[in-house]
Chains A and B, each alone.
Chain A
Amino acid sequence: MPEFATLASPYSMPAALHGDVDLTDPEEQTQTRALNQFLAGVELKAFKIAQAALRHEDDALDAVQDAMLQLARAYSDRPPAEWKPLFYRILENRIRDMQRRRTVRGRVMAWLPVRNDEDDDDYDPVAQAPSPEPQPVRRLEIDEAVGALEQALQQLPHRQRQAFLLRALEGLDVAATAQAMGCSEGSVKTHYFRAVQALRGQLGELYL
């Protein structure tokens, strides 16, 4: 699919070149490299999952950042095979916390005068920078498909959306999804099946 070609991945470079982490100890170097590789592999998908749940870019970034930190602090000594379900479990807990806090804040803010935040949005040239994209017509088709799917995902109940994204986007199997969601494998299958049915009902056959 050449039309989907994008920037070369910056995550293939050695971990030692990424930042200021001291990598003098070979064992630490190996662990740091493995953790870096894992986080680089999940961060973008995790952001999309958090964004779909929270519907707010900054909140999603905060949730992913918190999940990364907690995984690094509490579970980095675990075998790397365990990291993915743990990471998504942490992320899910963080998303729930933020949703809960947002509900409380919404109740409080309902009593306060409305404030216009539009003036706070500064122009960000980096965010507006052009990226390699397909031709305009094809791009329009992709835009429509992505927009339709994202909108349909937002209509789903939280657990169905979570099961669908963990399975379809992150590629977790049923057992790992159940571990990440904190429920049984049977529940995962049910949530995923219902999510697919609902999406198909809304989108028809999806083509890209």
Chain B
Amino acid sequence: MSAVNESDTEFERNARRVLEESVRRIDARTRSRLNQARHAALEAAATRRRGWFGRLTLMPAAGAVAAAVLVAVVLWQREPVGKPPVGPEAQRAAVEDMDLLTDNDSIDLMEGWDGSFYEWAAAQSDAGTESHS
């Protein structure tokens, strides 16, 4: 990367020597301040690297938390299994339900349900029908 080469003129070579001499003459106070600046820069670089390392070590824990949150959100938002009934069948069922809910007699009947009596009454009714015929 050096610019020093055979094609440099005598003037350029001398100029380079003069410049290098001027660098050597930089006083102790300036060298000290540059030294301090360099250490500050090294510390900044080390802090940056430690920051990256710290983030990398936290990565598994952060990943586990993120996965748990994701699962919770998915379960929360998930639709129930199966779809609600739609169409004429569903409408008819809904109308029957409404009849049951609004008819007080039907509800009373259901509350005092006596299966054997109604079975006997139905048998009598069927027997009467057959005898008339």
Contact = CB atoms under 8 A, between A and B. Distances in A.
B30 A69 contact: no
Given A150-B22, A171-B1, A127 B29 contact: yes
B19 A200 contact: no
Contacts of B2: 171, 173
Nearest to A196: B12
A47 B38 contact: no
A150 B33 CA distance: 22
B38 A43 contact: yes
Contacts of B32: 126
B11 A72 contact: no
Contacts of A205: 10-11, 14
Interface stretch (B42-50, B61-69, B72-80, B98-106): B42-50
Contacts of A131: 25, 27-28
A71 B44 CA distance: 10
A168 B32 CA distance: 25
B28 to A, nearest CB: 5
Contacts of B30: 47, 57, 61, 127
B22 A48 contact: yes
B24 interface: yes
A69 B41 contact: yes
B39 interface: yes
Contact of B1 (A6, A43, A57, A173): A173
Interface stretch (A16-24, A94-102, A110-118): A16-24
A10 interface: yes
Interface string A57-75: 1000100110011011100
Interface string A1-21: 000101000100001001111
A66 to B, nearest CB: 9
B12 to A, nearest CB: 6
Contact of B34 (A22, A32, A44): A44
Given A20-B43, A205-B11, A208-B21, A39 B38 contact: yes
B121 interface: no
B37 A43 contact: yes
B38 A68 contact: yes
Given A10-B35, A171-B3, A207-B14, A19 B43 contact: yes
B90 interface: no
B33 A72 contact: no
A168 B11 CA distance: 11
Interface string A29-43: 001100110011001
Given A32-B42, A126-B32, A172-B1, A73 B15 contact: no
A127 B27 contact: yes
Contacts of B11: 196, 199-200, 205-206
A19 B42 contact: yes
8 contacts: A31-B49, A71-B41, A72-B44, A73-B44, A126-B27, A149-B15, A168-B19, A206-B18
